[in-house]
Structure 1
Amino acid sequence: MDLPAGLSDRDLTEGLARFGISGPVQYAPLGFGDYHWTVAGRWFTSVADLTNKAHCGPDALAGLRSAMDTASALQLPFVVAPLRTDDGETVVPLDDRYALSVFPLLTGKSGSFDDRFSDEERDEVLTLLAELHSHEPPAGTPVAPVDSDGRDALEELLDEPGEWAGGPYSADAREVFVANTQRIRDLLAEFDRLAAQVPPRRVVTHGEPHPGNLIRTPDGYRLVDWDTVGLAPPERDLALLDGDLSKYTELTGHEPVAAGLALYRLRWRLNDIGEFAVWLKGPHERTPDTEVAWRGFRETLATP
């Protein structure tokens, strides 16, 4: 994970002071998207790049605050909720681009996105999701749009790809994109067909309850990264689990809708295509992150 461009150590220190926190800071190159440090062996920070938070809405800072406030208000034992500043804020802007949230540092084992749950682990996660989905939504819980993030930008590129000259991967990425334009249009049409079949039921969903956002602690799983929290069909979360989902039905009485599961699995794919396309078209350098983006772009488009 690359360090955030243009963010100084002083910016981070001043942001931490808003939470009354000081001490040794160590960079933690984890995940993909946000930036993280541990502080004094007690706290875990998340610095969000607001230019990369399309899912938080047109005002990314306000959307991120709504999400973090929701996580804080849920008060569920498995929710790793953000701390609040003395004046009650869960998110502190560090400058026009970056914003800071702080969490307790947990002792446990984290996974990665590509990990697979055992049957027992899957049922444990389904139990956790059943409790979350049955919880009364806190006031101000964001609504998670069904449509894929960045769809407008993706459709603009389909209509007029234009020149891709932002960095070392741009030309090759454009060639791959143009060769797959009809396929992407077909995926968007399939997405719309599935969306029309999903019942209007809405519950509090996490949005990304994959193994990379779960930490196994001595007291069970803890769920992190709540910037994607939102009211949505339960299938938004359930789509990330493979295999038998009957435990969820047993606990909630809701049988997952096949069209909803297919919809949200396709949504992940379209999000990746759109995000990687915009990234690789625009200004970038050859870094570990852009290498991941280029590989992910090709693999996503190559998936049957």
Structure 2
Amino acid sequence: MRDRPEDVDEGELSRVLDKWGIGAASLAYAPVGFGDHHWIAADDRGRKWFVTVADLELKNGQGSQAALRGLRKAMDTAAALRDQEKLDFVVAPLRAADGETVHRLGPRYALSVFPFVEGVAGDFDQPLTPQERGAVLDLLAELHRQTPPASTPVLHAELSMRGLLEKALEGVISWAGGPFAEPARTLLSGRAPGLRQRLEEFDRLVKELKESHRAPVVTHGEPHPGNLLRLEDRYLMVDWDTVGLASPERDLWSVVREPEDLARYAKAGGRMPDASALTLYRLRWDLEEVSIYVDWFRAPHDRSLDMEQAWDGLVGAVERLTDKAPEKRQTLR
């Protein structure tokens, strides 16, 4: 996130870092990524760590305790993939002295520590060349072949906040107020018929997936260029908080672009991706985006760089789902 959270005390953050044996001489906020907050910690010997602080209240819409349990499972899974399965492309959290990958930072946040990697990061919507897509597909095929660690979360295709989205389309949720509340309400109201049609399509595809009885695999969840680090001639994958057991198409939909991509994955992964499952997870991504941003904008909020980015994300997802020509975006600056 680009906006540093004002309620995170860096003194307390340093004290929690002691659990990893890190005596941080300096902490620098890193305005990168979207969703979590990040700092770079350094000690007086020049060693560095990448510190991630997750806002549990924004994680899954199910409360901070459920979010914390889910985050621990995900981080433990990533650590196991690196340490037990020896996947060297997994940038996983380091374990604290007590063996934990996640520790509380006050009532709202949770902290994880990662090795500091001097790689070149990509952007979320950055196009990849065929060669680059092939390299990512090879990594995903290797990931999908792994025996799932015991901690791997089991994920279902259904939407995590379906009830909230349906109430928003019905116009029966309350909007607490903020600069994006009324524009979000108006946007959903105007596009409600189209969004309901996509929900019906989504339900049909979920039913088809369940009836296919395809074995789930370990998936990353968001292997887009923003979660890739180029290190010399190879890629590393970061942000494993979305890891979980699911259909491989959960990863593949955002990478494949050509029939050659499908053939490459089939050769490396041992099975051909399913076209309807690819459509399902592409659709699910946008529906989840809409649900998440509705949850943000219905709560009290202020104008910020992150909220402006969220607004753009909501508009983009709604436009893709309703399959209309992009309308002139409302200026809220």
TM range (shorter): over 0.9
State the AA in 2 paired with 1:288: L
The alpha carbon displacement at 1:299 in A equals: 2.2
Q: Distance in 1 between matches of 2:38 and 2:88?
A: 23
The alpha carbon displacement at 1:223 in A equals: 0.4
The alpha carbon displacement at 1:116 in A equals: 1.1
Q: Distance in 2 between matches of 1:238 and 1:302?
A: 22
The alpha carbon displacement at 1:139 in A equals: 0.9
State the AA in 1 paired with 2:12: D
RMSD across aligned C-alpha pairs, in angstroms? 1.5
The alpha carbon displacement at 1:27 in A equals: 0.8
- In structure 2, the residue matched to 1:9 is 10
Q: Is 1:294 aligned to residue 301 of structure 2? A: no
Q: Distance in 2 between matches of 1:84 and 1:140?
A: 15
Would you say the 8 A contact 2:61–2:295 is kept in 1? no
Would you say the 8 A contact 1:177–1:277 is kept in 2? no
Structure 2: give runs of 5+ residues left out of the alignment. Answer: 324-333
The 1:56–1:143 alpha-carbon spacing in structure 2 relative to 1, beyond 3 Å, is farther
Range with bigger deviation, 283-292 or 163-172: 163-172
Range with bigger deviation, 96-105 or 214-223: 214-223
Q: Distance in 1 between matches of 2:32 and 2:285?
A: 21
- In structure 1, the residue matched to 2:161 is 150
Q: Distance in 1 between matches of 2:262 and 2:26?
A: 44
Range with bigger deviation, 238-247 or 47-56: 47-56
State the AA in 2 paired with 1:271: E
TM-score by length of 1: 0.96
Q: Distance in 1 between matches of 2:271 and 2:61?
A: 26
State the AA in 2 paired with 1:60: A
Indicate which of 37, 46, 52 corresponds to 1:46.
Answer: 52
Indicate which of 33, 36, 40 corresponds to 2:35.
Answer: 33
Q: What SS does structure 2 have at the residue aligned with 1:43?
A: strand
Q: What SS does structure 1 have at the residue aligned with 2:284?
A: helix
Q: Distance in 2 between matches of 1:134 and 1:154?
A: 35
Deviation digits for residues 139-177 of structure 1 (CA, Å, limit 9, x no counterpart): 121012211222121122223434434201211221111
Matches within 5 A, 1:204-223: 204-218=218-232, 220-223=234-237
The 1:117–1:56 alpha-carbon spacing in structure 2 relative to 1, beyond 3 Å, is farther
The 1:123–1:28 alpha-carbon spacing in structure 2 relative to 1, beyond 3 Å, is same
Q: Distance in 1 between matches of 2:91 and 2:27?
A: 20
Would you say the 8 A contact 1:113–1:212 is kept in 2? yes
State the AA in 2 paired with 1:69: D
Matches within 5 A, 1:18-167: 18-21=19-22, 22-40=24-42, 42-54=48-60, 59-75=66-82, 76-167=87-178
Range with bigger deviation, 278-287 or 222-231: 278-287
Q: Distance in 2 between matches of 1:165 and 1:232?
A: 35
Would you say the 8 A contact 1:55–1:228 is kept in 2? no
- In structure 1, the residue matched to 2:328 is none
TM-score by length of 2: 0.88
Q: Distance in 2 between matches of 1:161 and 1:178?
A: 11
Q: What SS does structure 2 have at the residue aligned with 1:278?
A: helix
- In structure 2, the residue matched to 1:186 is 197
Q: Distance in 1 between matches of 2:253 and 2:55?
A: 26
The 1:55–1:235 alpha-carbon spacing in structure 2 relative to 1, beyond 3 Å, is farther
- In structure 2, the residue matched to 1:277 is 294
Matched pairs, number: 304
Would you say the 8 A contact 1:68–1:91 is kept in 2? yes
Q: Distance in 1 between matches of 2:233 and 2:88?
A: 10
Structure 1: give runs of 5+ residues left out of the alignment. Answer: none
Would you say the 8 A contact 1:42–1:104 is kept in 2? yes
The 1:177–1:161 alpha-carbon spacing in structure 2 relative to 1, beyond 3 Å, is farther
Range with bigger deviation, 194-203 or 223-232: 194-203
Would you say the 8 A contact 1:143–1:230 is kept in 2? yes
Range with bigger deviation, 27-36 or 239-248: 239-248
The alpha carbon displacement at 1:293 in A equals: 1.5
State the AA in 1 paired with 2:38: H
Q: What SS does structure 2 have at the residue aligned with 1:39?
A: strand
Q: Distance in 1 between matches of 2:267 and 2:62?
A: 33
